[in-house]
Amino acid sequence: MKVIITDSVDEMAREAAGRIAAVIKEKPNPVLGLATGSTPIPVYNELIKLHKDEGLDFSTVITFNLDEYVGLAPDDKHSYHYFMKENFFRHININEKNTHVPDGTASDLEAECSRYENMIDDVGGIDMQLLGIGHNGHIGFNEPGSSLASLTRVKNLSEDTIEANKQYFKDLGWMPNKAITMGIGSIMKAEKVLLIAQGKNKADAIASALEGPVLSMVPASVLQQHRFATYVITREAALKLKLSYYDDTE
Ligand code: PGA
């Protein structure tokens, strides 16, 4: 595993965006796995900057997002479809047809989950999967206790996650309690994974994920078994790591 510890969120964003840009430049039809939440926003801003200032070309890029809330239509401003459009896709030259987010309003959710998983396999899998991490160690909406081999499916959100995300639903008066999420097994199929974290409130989750045992109670810990996992985290998020050599490893 590679652990890059940065002095600021800006540096985290530049480091992560640089790695994503390298994949885009290296492959003819790059397939990116994307994430939502507050942490990826500065990374998307950095990629938008690379597009505008340096011509980073997204025209052949294919994307798959990790997850979507059940019950929210794509044009609902609380949905992850909307989040991706607003924060990233509308600012770059990506072909909308190449962007994929699970459909949380599908009449047959189980069929939607298989369709989504198959679509990823059909394009040859994800070249690089961007991930945030929850305070509870979740990746995507794979909450503690998720099967480490799980594929795309519907999950109940944990109380922790509802607590962390309810701020985004204040005006709506309700919040979905289920989501479609790529599974841990789906994430592990990606050729490379890139996990980003910032802030001291992520320090416990980062320490358990990187240095604790591999446990379904800490879903991110399974990345210890990934062949190409990179963690780009701020010094605050790294606060509880015990090993001290990370700074020098690349
Ligand atoms: P955050 O969410 O980036 O908003 O902290 C991360 C996550 O829950 O995966």
Average pLDDT over residues 118-142: 98
Residue among 155, 152, 142, 118 nearest 220 (CA): 142
d(CA 229, CA 245): 17
User: Please, which pLDDT band fits residue 245 given cuts at 50, 70 and 90?
Assistant: confident
Average pLDDT over residues 155-166: 94
d(CA 46, CA 173): 33
Residue 229 in tokens:
């996992």
Alpha helices (H) in the chain, listed in sequence order: 9-26, 40-54, 80-87, 109-122, 159-165, 184-188, 203-211
pLDDT at 247: 66
pLDDT digits (tens, 9 = 90+) for 73-119: 999 999 999 999 999 999 999 999 999 999 999 999 999 999 999 99
Can you tell me which residue has the tokens 């039809």? 29
Using the atom order of ligand 1, give the atom closest to the CA of residue 37.
4
How many C-beta atoms surround the C-beta of residue 206 within 10 A?
Answer: 26
Q: What percent of the chain has pLDDT over 70?
A: 98
Residue 39 Cβ contacting ligand 1 at under 6 Å: yes
pLDDT digits (tens, 9 = 90+) for 30-61: 999 999 999 999 999 999 999 999 999 999 99
Mean pLDDT of the chain, nearest integer = 96
Residue among 87, 40, 84, 38 nearest 63 (CA): 84
Residue 134 Cβ contacting ligand 1 at under 6 Å: yes
**CA–CA distances in Å: residue 206 to residues 163, 236, 246:** 19, 10, 13
Tell me the catalytic residues. Answer: 67, 136, 138, 143
Lowest mean per-residue pLDDT among 87-91, 163-167, 178-182, 205-209: 163-167
Q: How far is the CA of 139 from the centre of ligand 1 (A)?
A: 9
Q: Does residue 12 have a pLDDT over 90?
A: yes
Residue 63 Cβ contacting ligand 1 at under 6 Å: no
d(CA 22, CA 81): 25
Using the atom order of ligand 1, give the atom closest to the CA of residue 35.
9
Residue 142 Cβ contacting ligand 1 at under 6 Å: no
pLDDT at 220: 98
Q: How far is the CA of 232 from the centre of ligand 1 (A)?
A: 14
Cβ atoms of residues 125 and 62 within 8 Å? no
Cβ atoms of residues 135 and 160 within 8 Å? yes
Higher pLDDT, 21 or 249: 21
Instruction: For ligand 1, pick from 133, 142, 143, 193 the residue to mutate: most ligand atoms within 8 Å of CB.
Output: 133
Cα Dmax for the chain: 50
Q: How far is the CA of 231 from the centre of ligand 1 (A)?
A: 14
Q: How far is the CA of 177 from the centre of ligand 1 (A)?
A: 16
Q: Does residue 249 have a pLDDT over 70?
A: no
Residue 37 Cβ contacting ligand 1 at under 6 Å: yes
